[in-house]
Amino acid sequence: MRNRIAGAIGIVVAACLPVAGSAQETTLRVAGEGDVSTLDAHRASSTNDKTVVGWIYNGLVRFRPGSADPKDIEPDLAERWETSPDGKVWTFHLRKDVRFQGDWGTLSADDVVYSLQRSADPKRSTFSSDFAAIANVEKLDDLTVRVTLKYPDVNFLGRVTNYHGGNIVSRKAAEELGDKFGARPVGTGPFIFVEQVTQQYVKLAANPTYFRGKPKIDAIVVRAIPSDSARDLAFTSGELDLMYAKREQRWVDAARRRPGFNVEIFRPGEYRILHINQSIPPLNDIRVRQAIAAAVNVDDLVRYVGKDVGPKGCSIVPPGYLGEDCSVRYNFDLARAKALLAEAGHKDGITIKAIVSNVSAQQPIMEIIQAQLAKAGIKLDMQVVDHATYQSQTRKDLSGLVFYGAARFPIADTYLSEFFHSRAIVNTPTAATNFSHCSVADKEIEQARTAADAETQKALWKEAQRKIMEDVCAIPLFELRQVWARSDKLDLGYKLEGAMNLAPPITEATTLKR
């Protein structure tokens, strides 16, 4: 039966995939867990989108391939830069003769000014809040750009890396294509967009004018295969060279014993947090929130996910981020959970509605949490939906508990601002991903951004985390690291320890043997 299923998948794949241009063309065959919704670099926020975006665009600076460590930021489209003594003025000197993909001309300061202004515009960018510190972006000459900040931003260089809003787009292409730009992206990266068939595949081709040299791989086909088992079968049968893998220790351990499976586990992990929506009674009672925190046994979750794949967190700021502080922690205590519920007037228990995604990285974890809460008299009414519906409904305040994971630039401000500042409360004009309606640490989060020195900044971040944890806005769970499987024939060309776009970078140095 297993062989029949694999054969059936092969027939479907053959019918859906584009035919290679020639017998000599080296095509990298990749599978993600879902469809690509947009390739507009300033809108692409899902893992599937970011995977492909990372191969199309560049930033002014970049993380060295294989790293997500801010210490490894290096020149990209800017060959050098200077900063004023007060940290408020940044001057970037661009490489000469960098060509955009296709017939869209050569990169100039105009494109950089346009891209950064676009990134900061909430009407055109998902990441506009990341660029709130920018006061002005101006062209000094064709290859020089000056950025003036309202205040020193310790995270600024990270914001202009090859990640999220830091990606540089062609001004001409973006303006001419308008809303169609996300379906016909134009960057300067190693691979050019060729075509997309919705819910089937995206095809890219090597950029012959890439400024670091034409890639050794001629084409990339990224298939959308939502089923973990279907991706597994396709990889095992030799139809894939690289795939988004199942992020569970049991799968990792089994895959490592199978021939041809090279398992890559890397950072940044998508930090899993259970947000408690204070706008929905009785979750507006801190005793109920404390009861939920006491009823969740994070150690059990980590045992299920696995220590390699999902190491435990201790703060609402992810492990390893600059500024993480674990002074306040929650402890599993079932008796305390029951006592707190009774004290709050719910001795017979409560029922909480939760919108839950059916993806393998979420539903099984929420089922464990559901069973844990039940022991304390907390019934979790889980409504399991597809991932797109989950994203939509949780942003409309329809869920009492929101299990959410994200990977961001590794500094405390990014998580505090996006998930715990009042401006980020969901279902508001300035919404980001503050599902809990937390607002107790706005002052500290804002003051930390303009702190005069690093120690003051860290102290403010520490105080913000203390307030948020004591208010029980959310429960830290674990860091779910990225897991990909790579065939023996694929040589990435670097050691993979991290990737901000959550997928292995495919560069001009990557090779594939056939």
198-248 pLDDT, tens digit each: 999 999 999 999 999 999 999 999 999 999 999 999 999 999 999 999 988
Average pLDDT on 8-18 reads 43
Domain 269-481 indexed as CATH 3.10.28.10: no
- For 210-224, the DSSP string reads -TT---SS-EEEEEE
Determine the 3-state secondary structure of 329 from DSSP. coil
**219-224/27-32 β-pairing:** parallel
DSSP 483: E
Mean of pLDDT values over 11-20: 45
Helices (runs of H) and strands (runs of E) counted in the chain: 15, 18
Of the candidates 21, 514, 505, which has an alpha carbon nearest to the alpha carbon of residue 215? 505
CATH 3.40.190.10 is held by the domain 2-241+487-512: yes
pLDDT tens, position by position, 458-481: 999 999 999 999 999 999 999 999
pLDDT tens-digit readout, 20-59: 445 578 999 999 998 999 999 999 988 899 999 999 999 9
Mean pLDDT of the chain: 93
HEC string of 109-162? HHHHHHHHHHHCCCCCCCCHHHHCCEEEEEEEECCEEEEEECCCCCCHHHHCCC
pTM: 0.80
pLDDT band of residue 4 (cuts 50, 70, 90) is very low
Task: Give tens-digit pLDDT for 269-313.
Answer: 989 999 999 999 999 999 999 999 999 999 999 999 998 899 999
Structure tokens of 194? 């060729």
The domains of the chain are located at 2-241+487-512, 269-481
What is the C-alpha radius of gyration for the chain, rounded to an integer number of angstroms?
23
Question: In the predicted model, is pLDDT for residue 254 greater than 60?
Answer: yes
For residue 18, name the pLDDT band (cuts at 50, 70, 90).
low
Q: Is pLDDT at 154 greater than 80 in this prediction?
A: no
The phi and psi torsions of 83 (rounded to 5 degrees) equal -125, 140
**Helix (H) or strand (E) segment spanning residue 256:** helix 249-256
Residue whose entry in the numeric block shows the structure tokens 């990889």: 235
Instruction: Decide if pLDDT at 363 tops 80.
Output: yes
Encode burial over 458-483: b for 16+ CB neighbours within 10 A, e otherwise.
bbbbbbbbbbbbebbbbbbbbbbbbb
394: its two tokens: 């949780």
Residues in Cβ contact with 162 at an 8 Å cutoff, skipping those fewer than 6 apart:
54, 57, 58, 59, 61, 62, 63, 76, 500, 501
pLDDT confidence band for 450 (50 / 70 / 90): confident
Q: Which residues make Cβ contacts (< 8 Å) with residue 135, sequence separation at least 6?
A: 148, 149, 150
d(CA 61, CA 236): 37
Indicate the DSSP class of residue 88. -
